[in-house]
Amino acid sequence: MAIAKNMPILPVQAYTSQDWFEQEQQYIFSRTWQFAGFVEDLSDPGDYLTLQAGFNNILVLLDEKQQLRAFHNVCRHRGTQLLRASGKGKKFLTCPYHDWTYNLDGELTAVPERKTQFPDLDLKTLCLHKASVGIWRGIIFVHPEPDADSLTDWFSPVEPYLGPHQPEKLVEYVEGRARHEINANWKIIVENYIDGYHLAHLHSETLFMYDHRQQETGFVGNHFYFYEPLAKDYLKGIEDNSPLPLIDHVPKDKIGAYVPMLFPNLGLSETESSWSTFYVIPVAPDKSIVEIRTKVMPVSDWRYLMQEWKSWNYFRHRKWDKYGTGDADDPLASGDFMAEDIYVCEQQQRSFKSPYFSIGATAKDLEQSVYQYQRNVQSYVEQRMS
């Protein structure tokens, strides 16, 4: 089966056509656990957030008893979205269209003109539709189905391959939140995320702190796992070399980069000094958004300054710029590995339109993860279509 290994699993249309996109919305994103936020985003009753999960807009809130609840964010009257974005301290959920009002348990409590015009309307039959919600590693996940399979069962097989990080003990570096609009299909971004082959090449000047030859990768079910140790010279003086304070609960023999991609679209990046979520949101066949949130050690600003200062020695001789052009407008000269990745993702998306496009994979071992991911996407859709 050597030939099959090199053949692309998914056709070009999987990355360009509206039909494929809608199928994935229906059979993948409407039917998997989706990232909603961090536990600390909701702290008091009535705090809420909203998200899109496939065809479903979902709202997550803390009810009066501080319990997490998830509902489909559509009014039972005419389907208008009830709440927008996120917010604090809601006592009731009122639809902007006709002021139908629900309590935090999703029960319809008030319909204007009811007494005069619809005295027989039974409010109990018009509760908000429930969705499933759960917490794993300090992350809130939502599933559009009310009786979804257990979140714990979904992630437990991949847990042995994750970092020893305890995200609950870290704090979010809020200024470091990033949102990238990328002109590429969501799968291109995921495939780039799990592709270990390009790390030593595209990122030769930006990710030199890790030993890319020592990658350990694989799949557990649909989830992808990835680990690589720190580069020897970086590790040797890591206490000084790290630009951020080290995560103190990661034992020295476990230090490295753990970069899993949880099916279908949530990457984690668990390193010696930070813990990040990388959430890929499909917007259109050729458009996606990536939202990144990062947690770090809860220590003083002074410690951060000191650490940055100490790490200067290790980083000061680096040029960061792949071709040394110094061109400020060139993503390949940015010194930012995310800018480098966005560049190649958008280039691949553009190439799909060329009649000369084809995939000539040679790295059977290193690109196997990309093929396996495509197989997983395909079989997830097929199983649910049949």
Instruction: List interacting residues with Fe ion (CB under 5 A).
Output: 341
Q: Which is nearer to Fe ion, 211 or 341 (CB)?
A: 341
Q: Which is nearer to Fe ion, 76 or 212 (CB)?
A: 212
Contact 379, 28 (CB under 8 A): no
Q: Which is nearer to Fe ion, 286 or 341 (CB)?
A: 341
Rounded to the nearest whole angstrom, what is the least distance from the CB of residue 243 to Fe ion in the complex? Answer: 19
Q: Which is nearer to Fe ion, 69 or 187 (CB)?
A: 187
CB atoms within 10 A of CB 78: 10
- The total number of residues shown for the chain amounts to 386
Rounded to the nearest whole angstrom, what is the least distance from the CB of residue 35 to Fe ion in the complex? Answer: 20
Q: How far is CA 20 from each of CA 14, 193, 232, rounded to the nearest angstrom?
A: 5, 21, 44
Rounded to the nearest whole angstrom, what is the least distance from the CB of residue 53 to Fe ion in the complex? Answer: 26
Which residue number has the CB closest to Fe ion?
A: 341
Q: Which is nearer to Fe ion, 61 or 202 (CB)?
A: 202
Rounded to the nearest whole angstrom, what is the least distance from the CB of residue 292 to Fe ion in the complex? Answer: 13
Rounded to the nearest whole angstrom, what is the least distance from the CB of residue 363 to Fe ion in the complex? Answer: 15
Preceding peptide of 264 cis, ω within 30°: yes
Rounded to the nearest whole angstrom, what is the least distance from the CB of residue 46 to Fe ion in the complex? Answer: 40
Q: Which is nearer to Fe ion, 215 or 307 (CB)?
A: 215
Strands of the chain, DSSP E: 34-38, 48-53, 56-62, 68-72, 86-87, 93-94, 101-102, 108-110, 132-136, 139-143, 171-172, 178-182, 216-220, 223-228, 257-258, 261-262, 266-270, 275-284, 287-296
Please provide residue 248's backbone torsions phi and psi, each rounded to the nearest 5 degrees: -75, -15
What single-letter amino acid sits at 137? R
Would you call 174 helix, strand, or coil by DSSP?
A: helix
